[in-house]
């Protein structure tokens, strides 16, 4: 790549995206891209419904530019009933890969050609790598082919689980192994978090969810798969290391805290992690600050799952700092 060229051209893309469901929140335009679009530019994308709030294009395009790849990462609003068609379309157009977000992660389990160990373990696909078959029958990432290969397959991965533990370590110094954690939420993100915490060796895990039957089903799954973990649907009675919010309470301005202060006092926790990253300060994090806990929002989780996706597609280490900066800028974290 001609580094001097992209440094001088500056921003090549000027679009704004206002998330209709969040009204006032502004997703900053993607800027500072590398090579100009040409006939050899390859594409990746995130599919979601809705997707216009996604900060992934800003983050991934910054990573792609830093790696000097002639790729672009875009976003497509894909309805669940058209997901299979959309994955096959990307395959036919020789896309590098895809990210999948709500509500596609579970659906895609039945739509990809092969499942990596990570997607099998966590029961969800958030990353697809397209691979071509070489003359010696080996399957290789599609960017390694000069000409479009005849046989292309979709390979499903999950990078969400690693993103959670990496962010807990980096942002809060929490290692999970041997620790006691209260997890609020048993939806898609809560389920992956609970299973990853259990697989990483959490000692005590309490799972609270508005719909108790979902928390109970998750507890039963953990008891079966990870019998060494002390897991329950009750609030902890003693001091713990961490509270994690994996509910969507806090996304909207008037949302209450997901934690009932009568049931658990935050002063009994060393740290608090909110998976929500926009807004960057939720009612739960404000309460954590007041209670003197160490706290962090979900930006690091988003960063690390995205960085891992880029590594899967490119085979190179992701440039974390430029991706982090782009992410912060895109969601106005300054
Ligand atoms: N930082 C990141 O990279 C990252 C990645 C993924 C998700 N997230 C965040 O994690 C959160 C959950 O996402 P998800 O994909 O798991 O969504 P989801 O599958 O729709 O689950 C939503 C969760 O929130 C609970 N909930 C929703 N409204 C509630 C209310 N009014 N009162 C109490 N609980 C309520 C749900 O409880 P019920 O089961 O009772 O409905 C469920 O546990 C979202 O805020 C999302 O932004 C962050």
> What's the angle, vertex CA 333, arms to CA 312 and CA 298, rounded to 5?
50
The finding on whether 217 has its CB within 6 A of some atom of ligand 1 is no
Contact 100/108 with Cβ under 8 angstroms?
yes
Q: Rounded to the nearest whole angstrom, what is the distance from the C-alpha of residue 39 to the centroid of ligand 1?
A: 40
By DSSP bridging, strand 97-100 and strand 127-133 are: antiparallel
Q: Rounded to the nearest whole angstrom, what is the distance from the C-alpha of residue 185 to the centroid of ligand 1?
A: 6
Residues of the chain with CATH 3.40.50.10860: 3-158+301-330
What CA dihedral angle connects 77, 79, 85 and 87, to 10 degrees? Answer: 50
Rg over alpha carbons for the chain, rounded to the nearest Å, is: 20
* Given the residues 7, 105, 203, 329, the one annotated as active site: 105
CATH number, domain 3-158+301-330? 3.40.50.10860
Q: Rounded to the nearest whole angstrom, what is the distance from the C-alpha of residue 149 to the centroid of ligand 1?
A: 40
The finding on whether 300 has its CB within 6 A of some atom of ligand 1 is no
Question: Any idea which fold 162-297 has?
Answer: Rossmann fold (3.40.50)
The finding on whether 82 has its CB within 6 A of some atom of ligand 1 is no
Burial of residue 241 (number of CB atoms within 10 Å: 0-12, 13-18, 19+): buried
Closest by CA to 195, choosing from 124, 258, 248, 269, is 124
The finding on whether 249 has its CB within 6 A of some atom of ligand 1 is yes
Contact 154/113 with Cβ under 8 angstroms?
yes
Specify the DSSP class assigned to residue 29.
Answer: P
Q: Rounded to the nearest whole angstrom, what is the distance from the C-alpha of residue 58 to the centroid of ligand 1?
A: 23
What percent of the chain is helix, strand and coil (3-state, nearest 5)? Answer: 35, 20, 45
H or E segment and range at residue 45: strand 42-48
By DSSP bridging, strand 204-208 and strand 180-184 are: parallel
| pLDDT the model gives residue 34 | 61
| pLDDT the model gives residue 23 | 35
Decide if 289 is catalytic.
Answer: no
The finding on whether 283 has its CB within 6 A of some atom of ligand 1 is no
The finding on whether 280 has its CB within 6 A of some atom of ligand 1 is no
Which of 21, 187, 251, 257 gets mutated to test ligand 1 (max ligand atoms within 8 A of its CB)?
187
Q: Rounded to the nearest whole angstrom, what is the distance from the C-alpha of residue 170 to the centroid of ligand 1?
A: 23
What does the pLDDT profile of the chain (334 residues) look like in tens digits? 333 222 222 333 222 233 333 333 444 444 456 678 999 999 999 999 999 889 999 999 999 999 999 999 999 999 999 999 999 999 999 999 999 998 999 999 999 999 999 999 999 999 999 999 999 999 999 999 999 899 999 999 999 999 999 999 999 999 999 999 999 999 889 999 999 999 999 999 999 999 999 999 999 999 999 999 999 999 999 999 999 999 999 988 899 999 999 999 999 999 999 999 989 999 999 999 999 999 999 999 999 999 999 999 999 999 999 999 999 999 876 5
Name the closest-CA residue to atom 7, ligand 1.
Answer: 189
Name the closest-CA residue to atom 48, ligand 1.
Answer: 275
Residues of the chain with CATH 3.40.50.720: 162-297
Tokens representing 41 are 């530019």
The finding on whether 211 has its CB within 6 A of some atom of ligand 1 is yes
């Amino acid at each position: 790549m001609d580094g001097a060229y992209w440094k001088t051209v500056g921003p090549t893309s000027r679009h704004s995206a206002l998330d209709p469901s969040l009204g006032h929140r502004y997703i900053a335009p993607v800027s500072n891209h590398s090579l100009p679009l040409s006939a050899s530019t390859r594409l990746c994308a995130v599919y979601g419904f809705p997707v216009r709030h996604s900060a992934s294009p800003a983050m991934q395009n910054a990573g792609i530019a830093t790696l000097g790849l002639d790729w672009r990462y875009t976003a497509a609003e894909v309805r669940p009933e058209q997901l299979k068609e959309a994955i096959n379309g990307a395959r036919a157009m020789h896309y590098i890969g895809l990210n999948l977000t709500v509500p596609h992660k579970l659906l895609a389990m039945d739509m990809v050609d092969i499942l990596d160990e990570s997607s099998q373990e966590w029961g969800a696909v958030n990353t697809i790598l397209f691979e071509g078959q070489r003359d010696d029958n080996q399957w290789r990432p599609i960017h390694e082919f000069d000409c479009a290969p005849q046989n292309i397959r979709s390979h499903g991965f999950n990078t969400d689980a690693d993103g959670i533990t990496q962010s807990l370590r980096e942002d809060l110094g929490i290692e999970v192994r041997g620790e006691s954690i209260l997890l609020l939420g048993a939806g898609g993100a809560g389920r992956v978090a609970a299973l990853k915490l259990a697989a990483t060796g959490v000692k005590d895990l309490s799972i609270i969810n508005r719909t108790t039957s979902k928390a109970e089903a998750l507890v039963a799954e953990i008891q079966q798969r990870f019998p060494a973990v002390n897991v329950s649907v009750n609030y902890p009675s003693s001091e713990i290391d961490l509270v994690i919010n994996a509910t969507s309470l806090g996304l909207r301005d008037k949302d209450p805290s997901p934690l009932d202060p009568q049931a658990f006092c935050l002063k009994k926790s060393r740290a608090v992690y909110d998976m929500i990253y926009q807004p960057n300060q939720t009612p739960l994090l404000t309460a954590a600050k007041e209670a003197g806990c160490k706290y962090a929002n979900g930006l690091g989780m988003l960063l690390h799952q995205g960085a891992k996706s880029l590594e899967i597609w490119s085979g190179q280490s992701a440039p974390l700092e430029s991706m982090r900066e782009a992410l912060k800028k895109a969601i106005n974290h300054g």
